[in-house]
Amino acid sequence: MTIRDHGSIPISPWVGAMLAINAKYSAAGGPTGFLGAESGGISSCPDSIGFYRHYAGGSIYWTPRTGAHEVHGDIRGLWASMGWERSLLGYPTTDETGTPDGVGRYNHFQGGSIYWTPATGAHEVHGEIRNHWASMGWEQGLLGYPTTDETGTPDGVGRYNHFRGGSIYWTPATGAHEVHGEILKKWASLGWEKSFLGYPITDEVSTCDGLRRLSFFQSGSITWSPRMGAQARATPKWDPTIRGCFNDEDIHHMLYGSEQGPVPSPIDLADYAAVRDNAAAILDRVCRSENDPLLMPPLPRVPWSPDLVDLFQEWLVGGMPA
């Protein structure tokens, strides 16, 4: 096998690796830089794809696809403990780089990332949990830096990472969703995913009136407000004396918005039927409602799938007569 460099001159992978690794080493300061002196020659990786050279202060790895990248310090230590390039992370695709906030460091890899700060140490994030964390703004989002590696849940079904500001949980059935703040504390106090609530099926969102925060779970919800704190509820079965899972004011606001005058009491069954029949529009209103600035900064909008609309509909008026 050959690769081409310097015009049309074919060169071997080993020569290509040597040129790239030596160039990267020189750019990092050579023997007087942070990598220090060479501690061995350029070697082929066990998978016969890449090449590497170790140094006193780190390593440089190269493949034809990823190019040459250095890894050092605690990030290198974690990557090594996971199995180097044979781990789920694969080869590095960046050098170690400082985060925009000036606090942390990271390397991206083919299969994920490792983030480090002095306070949290080095932790890996990958897969759908990493994708969701990235969509929320990486370490600059409300979750902050990871404080654990991705870990399996005790029931063997889910996966999670804890972060400084919350957690992301994932299962094949529910996808990846964040939980944070007082809602996270309440869920944890009940037993996490082993509780009657199960796994989260949405991120935390604002209720329609903007005064409360809400996360849906497989078998219920947790709602938080400054006045009432965090309250967990199981998915309700219809009972006219309880009037489902929301009170009359909730239902009125969901249907008509909070600006539509006084709330009739009691709300009749026709309004509950309207909730059932307009679940998608209600979800959209919840998604797009303004967050109370006294509670927390605005959160990303939640993409409501048809399946989630069905879940929300069932959650609102489960068991209600047609």
Cβ contact 174:216 at 8 Å: no
pLDDT band at 267 (very low <50, low <70, confident <90, very high): very low
- pLDDT of 51 strictly over 70: yes
124 domain residue, yes or no: no
258 domain residue, yes or no: yes
Mean pLDDT of the 11-33 span:
94
Closest to 64 measured CA to CA, from 21, 27, 95: 21
- How many domains in the chain? 1
Distances (CA, A) of 74 to 12, 83, 102, 103: 33, 14, 17, 15
Specify the DSSP class assigned to residue 244. Answer: T
- pLDDT of 237 strictly over 90: no
152 domain residue, yes or no: no
234 domain residue, yes or no: yes
254 domain residue, yes or no: yes
What percent of the chain is modeled with pLDDT above 90?
59
Q: What are the tens digits of pLDDT across the range 161-203?
A: 999 999 999 999 999 999 999 999 999 999 999 999 999 988 9
Cβ contact 37:58 at 8 Å: no
305 domain residue, yes or no: yes
List the single range of 79-83, 128-132, 247-251, 290-294 with lowest mean pLDDT.
290-294
Distances (CA, A) of 291 to 99, 180, 269: 28, 16, 29
* Choice between 116 and 205, residue whose per-residue pLDDT is larger: 116
Distances (CA, A) of 218 to 127, 158, 225, 301: 22, 13, 21, 20
Give the helix ranges, DSSP H, for 29-121: 73-82
pLDDT band at 45 (very low <50, low <70, confident <90, very high): very high
Sign of CA dihedral 135, 141, 143, 146: positive
List the single range of 8-17, 51-60, 173-182 with lowest mean pLDDT.
8-17
Closest to 279 measured CA to CA, from 247, 230, 253, 314: 314
269 domain residue, yes or no: yes
Distance CA 141, CA 131 (A): 13
Q: What are the tens digits of pLDDT across the range 92-143?
A: 999 999 999 999 999 999 999 999 999 999 999 999 999 999 999 999 999 9
Specify the DSSP class assigned to residue 88. Answer: T
- pLDDT of 230 strictly over 80: yes
* Choice between 260 and 234, residue whose per-residue pLDDT is larger: 234
151 domain residue, yes or no: no
Specify the DSSP class assigned to residue 103. Answer: S
- pLDDT of 309 strictly over 50: no
Mean pLDDT of the 231-235 span:
82
pLDDT of res. 10: 62
Mean pLDDT of the 41-58 span:
97
pTM: 0.74
pLDDT of res. 319: 35
pLDDT of res. 205: 84
Q: The domain containing residue 258 runs over which residues?
A: 174-322
pLDDT of res. 320: 35
Rounded (10°) CA dihedral 215, 223, 186, 172 = -20
